[in-house]
Amino acid sequence: MIELRPRQVKAIHDIRAAYQAGYIAPLLRAATGFGKTATAINMIAAAVAKGRRVWFLAHLKEINHDTARRLAAENLPFGYIMAGQLSDRRKPIQVAMVQTAVRRLDRLEPPDLILVDEAHLAVAPTYQEIFRWAKAGPKFYEPGGAKLLSLTATAVRLDGRGLNEIADVIVETCSTQDLIDEGLLAPIRYYAPKSEDLAGIKTRGGDFAQDELARIMDKPKITGSAVAEYRKVAHGRPAVAFCVSIEHAQHVAEEFRAAGYRAVAISGESDPTERDAALSGLQDGRLDVVCNCALWVAGVDAPAVACIIMLAPTQSLTKYLQSIGRGLRTHPGKDCCVVLDHAGNLGRHGPPAAVREWSLEATEKKKGAKKSEVPVKTCPSCFAVVHSAATDCGCGHHFVTEGRKLEEVEGELQAVDLTAARVEQRREQGRAQTEADLVALGRARGMKRPELWARHVIRARHAKEARV
């Protein structure tokens, strides 16, 4: 069996303690690189040894194939609930694709335990239908129903929906910085644009005028040339560029190729063989840069990646942290992960390794806010979860996509002292004692919905105080 690190052993102990205390759906919150899959494999093996039936449920084929590979390495008996894969319902472990499983419930036997990866997506109707069928989770659990174990690095959703819909307690582990300090993740070298100049913004009631601040901060734009900055500070590092659209990814890849780099563009619409070839190309050195849209935010294990190029402004903390996480795995000869943040996401979310407070509680979504930025969307016809870049669902539904324009401005990225930035950010947040103080701080940082963030921080503080 996989030899677990002390933190993973403690996580399993804490999860079991939660079940023994009467919880039926704990959520394991662990930073990217913690080893959530290895921890899950250990718990799956223990459950099977007790005669339990277990599902591992995810929304991406990359996640499920990686889990299947690890199960096979441990000689654990598993079958697939996944299109294009031979199924064997007799096996005690089922590696299940949520889109496939929800269509086959009438032919399947409910498991005793369901593990859900990337669980911040599990409020979607497809997951909820599976939980209802299995009598699992806070909303649907009944005696004899399945226990639920959720796994995620980011226990938060941009749309404000609470993860208390799928979990009843957070089992916390450690921060990204803890793993960096222990040598389990690569250090981060961060480059970002200069902060926005707010000198000309009027004040009202002692704070920035919200309409003028929005005019400055809400412009979707990228600063500097992706190729020039890569050549200057990350030349030779296998890189992944996160782009806003398929056309944008293709354009950026063309620019890299014109500069002599080996680059390709992929998206949720790419053939699986193209996606696999792009991943293996980064790993074995055949490619320098992969430009992608709506892919590789999660479910991809590519330790050789040593540069993340952020060309997509995002208000999603999940997308921000998960994207950077693709480059944090350690690898022979890799001294650090270079982050080229052309989109100014550092100013929206703070240092990627900062300690954050998490809560299961919902937060009220601001009126007129846009839908959550997650790498998937739900088909309104069959409720299947598909990549957000997909134009058509397998059921025949055609998605009408909205174009997104970026303003490109000249400029150079500057190195950021993440340690100093992290300390100052925590000090600022600590000094903000009231919700009004936090809202003002969020506005000063350029957050699009500071009210939502402020409520989240206040509720997380209350939850922390209640645990003490």
* Cα 289 to Cα 278: distance, rounded to the nearest angstrom: 9
One domain, residues 207 and 327: yes
One domain, residues 146 and 196: no
One domain, residues 31 and 112: yes
The chain-wide mean pLDDT, for the chain, equals: 83
Kindly state whether residue 149 falls inside one of the protein's structural domains. yes
430 vs 444: which has the higher pLDDT = 430
Kindly state whether residue 200 falls inside one of the protein's structural domains. yes
pLDDT at 121: 87
Which residues have CB under 8 Å from 147's CB, separation 6+? 19, 24, 25, 112, 113, 114, 136
Whether the predicted model's global pTM rises above the 0.85 cut: no
Which tens digits make up the pLDDT trace of 356-404? 888 898 875 544 444 444 445 556 554 455 555 556 666 666 665 544 5
Kindly state whether residue 375 falls inside one of the protein's structural domains. no
Q: What percent of the chain has pLDDT over 90?
A: 48
Q: Which of 144, 175, 206 is the last residue of a domain?
A: 175
pLDDT at 142: 95
Q: Is 399 helix (H, G, I), strand (E, B) or coil?
A: coil
Determine what percent of the chain falls in helix, strand and coil, rounding each to the nearest 5: 35, 20, 45
Which tens digits make up the pLDDT trace of 244-258? 888 888 999 999 999
Instruction: Give me the domain span that covers residue 133.
Output: 6-175
Compute the average pLDDT of residues 439-454.
Answer: 72
Count of domains observed in the chain: 3
Model confidence at 197: pLDDT above 50: no
Q: Are 340 and 233 in contact (CB under 8 A)?
A: yes
126 vs 161: which has the higher pLDDT = 126
* Cα 284 to Cα 282: distance, rounded to the nearest angstrom: 6
Kindly state whether residue 363 falls inside one of the protein's structural domains. no
